[in-house]
Structure formats: C-alpha cells, structure tokens
Amino acid sequence: MKLRIDKMLANTGIGSRKEIKQDAKKGLVTVNGTVVKDSSKIIDTDTDVVKYNGEIVRYIQHIYLLMNKPQGVVSATEDNYDRTVVELLSEEDRFYEPFPVGRLDKDTEGLLLITNDGQLAHDLLSPKKHVDKTYYAEVAEEVTREDVKAFEEGIILTEENYKTLPAKLEIIESGYPSKCLVTIKEGKFHQIKRMFKSVNNEVVFLKRISMGPLKLDENLKPGEYRHLTEEEINSLLQRK
Ligand code: URA
C-alpha cells in the first residue's frame, strides 16, 4: 500500500502527524536506511523499510474506531434504505474497510467499535467469551426489586425459548420513566428490549456505555468517532 510517511506512522499510533513531521525534521525517520526529513514523502508499505528512532515500524493494517452511534443510523456497512455507521466515517478511514463489531438497533445510541480486525471482532462477539456490555436504559414503567432479581436469575426469551445469562440491573431512578443500567454478557437480537418486555416494561431510550474494557467517550457527540488510543487497543487485544 502506498501512503505518506506521516500518515503511516500516525496510523500505527506513534504520534500525531504534526509530531511525526517534527520528528522527521529532527532525523528520527529513515526509509531503507536513508534519513527522510520530509514526512509527506510517499512510501510503499509492502517494500519499504521504515524506521522510527532506530526501530522498524511494522505497518498496522488494522484500524480501531470508537463511535458514539446516533439514532436513525444502522450498524452495517451497506443498506438499501438507511444510512449506515460506515457512511459516517471519513473517506480516509473507510479506505480500510472497517465494519461494526456487532449491532446496535437503529434507535439505540452509544458505544460502537468499528474495525477491520476480524479476529478481534470474532473474539468480542463470541458467546463463549462473555464480554460485558453495559447499557443506560430508560423504560416506561417503574423498575422494581423483583425485576432486578428476575434479570439476575435469567429471563426466558420466548421466541427461541432461551434463558439469558445472569444480567445486572441497577436502578438509578424508578418512576415514569425509570432510569437504569443493565449489564449483559451476550448479545441476542433486541436483547435488552425483550428482557424488559418480559417483565411488562418497555425501553424508551437505550444507549450502550461500555463493552468489555472500552468505555463510551462522553466527549463524542452522537455521530462522532475517534481512533482508539494505544492503551485501549492493548486492553482489547489482551482479551484474546
Ligand atoms: N439490546 C437491544 O434491545 N437493542 C440494542 O441495540 C442492544 C441491546
């Protein structure tokens, strides 16, 4: 793949393009053994050996994006009717062909990981891995201690006659609507909505606030996203 040195190094998480430009000027970047002070130079990641501060930099083909998914957009790469989360990405990021890890409903907001790392996506979605997902939910009716107990014991999803794994329901405020946090370890279709339905309640607002070690970045407005930090990427990859 051919791309600018600053972009290539920034993509690997070494620093911002501005920092890399300065570092290149200082002589910290070499390509095939020659110091390159102009970080806008195009290199070929397949054949050129790029070193930063004496260390070979392996080009990372994976990108990891954290989006605050807005309502009204579907968690897909393509759709005939609706706008997709991938359409909200810059052309630069779409180049890497990322896809959303799992689905949030069209009317659900919040944390969505978008990546082209298929192995990581597979691991995070695997039912065997039991990755915690926490949602902030507003529901139409009062939430009771009995509901907390029922979620803890597991709810039967009638369509597939499946009993959910123990889920944690924390009441923030009980009323009309009620506000709560729900943590589940799996991701059945419309799971949170169906769990509340089975205790005669109805989700009126749903937002995912965490998935495994990843937390929603409250600085991101709905529809905005950012690249994961190196620390966040490592926390995810360590799960493997
Ligand atoms: N549960 C739901 O019902 N919807 C979502 O989008 C996610 C979890």
Both 203 and 224 in one domain: the answer is no
Q: Do 205 and 144 belong together in one domain?
A: yes
Residues in the chain, total = 240
Q: Domain for residue 227, yes or no? A: yes
Q: Which one of 30, 57, 84 terminates a domain?
A: 57
Tally of structural domains, the chain: 3
Given the structure tokens 């039967």, which residue do they identify? Answer: 156
Atom index in ligand 1 nearest the CA of residue 103 equals 6
- Is the predicted pLDDT of residue 240 greater than 60, yes or no? no
Tell me whether residue 125 is in a domain.
Answer: no
Q: How far is the CA of 53 from the centre of ligand 1 (A)?
A: 46
The DSSP secondary-structure symbol of 70 reads P
Ligand 1 centroid to residue 108 C-alpha, Å: 7
Same domain, 185 and 165: yes
Whether residue 15 sits in one domain with residue 44 = yes
At 220, is the secondary structure helix, strand, or coil? coil
H or E stretch at 193:
helix 191-198
Hey, how many other C-beta atoms are within 10 angstroms of the C-beta on 82? 11
Query: Quick check: is 121 in a domain?
Result: no
Same domain, 70 and 137: no
**Atom 3 of ligand 1, residue of closest alpha carbon:** 190
25 found inside a domain: yes
The range of the structural domain enclosing residue 71 comes to: 64-115+219-237
| CA quadruple 166, 168, 173, 179: dihedral sign | negative
Specify the CATH number for the domain of residue 43.
Answer: 3.10.290.10
Q: What percent of the chain has pLDDT over 70?
A: 99
> Are 143 and 200 within one domain?
yes
Q: Which of 57, 79, 103 is the last residue of a domain?
A: 57
25 and 143 together in one domain: no
- Give the pLDDT confidence of 107-127 residue by residue, as tens digits: 999 999 999 999 899 999 988
CA distance 52 to 26: 11
**Are 91 and 148 in the same domain?**
no
Q: Let me know if residue 195 belongs to a domain.
A: yes
Q: Flag the least confident range among 6-20, 108-122, 132-146, 171-185.
A: 6-20
pLDDT of residue 239: 60
- 88: domain CATH number is 3.30.70.580
Per the CB < 8 A criterion, the answer to whether 31 and 179 are in contact is no
| For ligand 1, atom 2: residue with the closest CA | 190
pLDDT given at position 60 = 65
Q: In the structure, which protein residues have their CB atom closer than 6 angstroms to any atom of ligand 1? A: 104-105, 108, 190-193, 206
Is position 123 within any domain?
no
Residue 89 lies in a domain: yes
- The CATH number for 160's domain is 3.30.70.1560
CA–CA separation, 52 vs 71, rounded Å? 42
CA 206 to ligand 1 center in whole angstroms:
7
The one catalytic residue among 79, 93, 105, 132: 105
Atom of ligand 1 nearest to the CA of 187: 8
Instruction: Provide the token pair at 210.
Output: 């965490």
Q: What is the pLDDT of residues 24-60, one digit of tens each?
A: 999 999 999 999 999 999 999 889 999 999 999 877 6
3-state SS assignment for residue 35: strand
Annotation says 23 is catalytic: no
On whether both 187 and 69 belong to a single domain, the answer is no
199 Cα to the center of ligand 1, angstroms? 16
The verdict on 138 and 207 lying in the same domain is: yes
Identify which has the larger pLDDT, 158 or 200. Answer: 200
Q: What is the pTM of this model?
A: 0.79
Same domain, 231 and 204: no
In a domain, 128, yes or no: no
Domain match, 68 and 32 both: no
- CA 95 to centroid of ligand 1, rounded, Å: 28
Average pLDDT over residues 198-215: 97
Mutate to test the pocket of ligand 1, among 192, 197, 198 (most ligand atoms within 8 A of CB): 192
